[in-house]
Amino acid sequence: MKKVLLQLDTDEHPSPFDAIVAHDAGVDVLLSHGGVKPDDVHGLVQDAFFTRGVDDLKTMAVWVGGKRVSAGEEVFGKVQKAFFGPFRVSVMLDSNGCNTTAATTIARIAKARSLAGDRAVVLGLGAVGLRSATLLRDEGCEVTAVAIPPDLFGDDRPYRKPSGVGAAEELGLDVREPADRGALESVLDGAQLVLCSGPAGVQVLRGDFWTRHPTLELLADYNAAEPLGLEGTKATDDLASHDGKLVLGALAIGGPKMKVHKACVRRMFEANDQVLDTDAVYAIAKELV
């Protein structure tokens, strides 16, 4: 019986990335739907699983993607509401690559060092940043999540008010909104770990600040586009040492992230009850990275 993946994407055009990786991971039939709205989900999901007997439901799964993570989260919830009785299929959320990226990065860091007791600072309150923050907290870090202040934005990249403050507070994170670069730098006092997840093209930490920082030991950066979040680093830095501090760049995560992504797709077809949210993807990432 063919392995069918229902791709529900909240963007007009369903992501070619997600589609291609699904095929590479062994999906036989991919049904790609773009512009999916929450009200579409119930019908699409039931329409799909009604083609299968109860014993064959693991030959089918649902993938939720698209650029906007909050829209994806809503669709992800609706998918699970379409299940009833024994009728359920595995489902994964990875809008904008949020879960695979955060999980792979933190798993990579957790393999490189013990995290329990560390003070970790996440700079930037986007979906990937917040997912990373909760994973670090679960690993025993004391985590602070920080909004990027206006003076870090350049002319090319106008300031956007951070939209993630409320979401970060709901997650129970210690949230800070520093007024300027100086205030942001003070938040790093005593931190061993920093994660830059600011907007693409915004340099978050200057080289002469972070290379001389007295307590920082490991820095990661989710930005792959110049200028990088960490001045003086390369996106390909794979725990490379800079003045004794380890740096993990965005492109060094690409290979393991792809491995995790494919493994998640395959995992969905091993049983019909997998719900691959941040935590479940992280568990898979820790096995693989």
Question: Is residue 17 a contact point for a second copy (CB under 8 A)?
Answer: yes
The yes or no reply on residue 29 touching a second copy (CB under 8 A) is yes
Residue among 200, 258, 275, 288 that touches a second copy (CB under 8 A): 258
What are the structure tokens assigned to 72, written together?
């994806």
Q: For a second copy, which is the closer residue by CB, 101 or 144?
A: 101
Q: Least distance to a second copy from the beta carbon of 163, Å? A: 21
- In angstroms, give the least distance from the CB of 19 to a second copy: 5
Closest CA to 282 of 141, 173, 134: 134
Question: Is the Cα dihedral 253, 259, 265, 271 positive or negative?
Answer: negative
Residue 71 in the binding site for a second copy (CB under 8 A): no
Q: Smallest gap, in angstroms, from Cβ of residue 16 to a second copy?
A: 4
Tell me which stretch binds a second copy (CB under 8 A): 11-19, 87-95, 102-110, 266-274.
11-19
Q: Are 248 and 237 in contact (CB under 8 A)?
A: yes
From the list 10, 36, 194, 252, which residue makes contact with a second copy (rule: CB under 8 A)?
36
- Is 39 a binder of a second copy (CB under 8 A)? no
| Nearer to a second copy among residue 29 and residue 271 (C-beta) | 29
Residue of 145, 211, 205 whose CA lies nearest to 178: 145
Q: How far is the CB of 49 from a second copy (least distance, A)?
A: 9
Binding of residue 23 to a second copy (CB under 8 A): yes
Cβ proximity to a second copy: between 171 and 258 the closer is: 258
Q: Please spell the DSSP secondary structure of the chain, one letter per residue.
A: ---EEEEEESSSSPPHHHHHHHHHTT-SEEEEE-S--HHHHHHHHHHHHTTS-GGGGGGEEEEEE-S-HHHHHHHHHHHHHT-BTTB--EEEE-GGGHHHHHHHHHHHHHHHS--TT-EEEEE--SHHHHHHHHHHHHTT-EEEEEPPPGGG--SSS-----S-HHHHHHTT-EEE--SSHHHHHHHTTT-SEEEE---TT---B-HHHHTT-SS--EEEE---SSSPSBTT--TT-EEEEETTEEEE-HHHHHHHHHHHHHHHHHHHTT-S--EE-HHHHHHHHHHH-
* Residues 119-158, mask of contacts with a second copy (x by CB under 8 A): ----------------------------------------
Stretch that binds a second copy, among 21-29, 103-111, 138-146, 264-272 (CB under 8 A): 21-29
Does 32 bind a second copy (CB under 8 A)? Our answer is: yes
- Report the residue number, 140 or 254, with the smaller CB distance to a second copy: 254
| 6 is a contact residue toward a second copy (CB under 8 A) | yes
User: How large is the C-alpha radius of gyration of the chain?
Assistant: 20
The closest of 211, 209, 250, 244 to 227, measured between CA atoms, is 250
The minimum distance between CB 149 and a second copy, in angstroms, equals 29
CB of 255 to a second copy, least distance (A): 9
Least separation in angstroms between CB 97 and a second copy: 10
Bond into 227 cis (ω within 30)? yes
Q: Which is nearer to a second copy, 72 or 149 (CB)?
A: 72
Interacting residues toward a second copy by CB under 8 A: 1-2, 4, 6, 12-13, 15-17, 19-21, 23-24, 28-29, 31-33, 35-36, 40, 44, 47-48, 50-51, 60, 254, 258
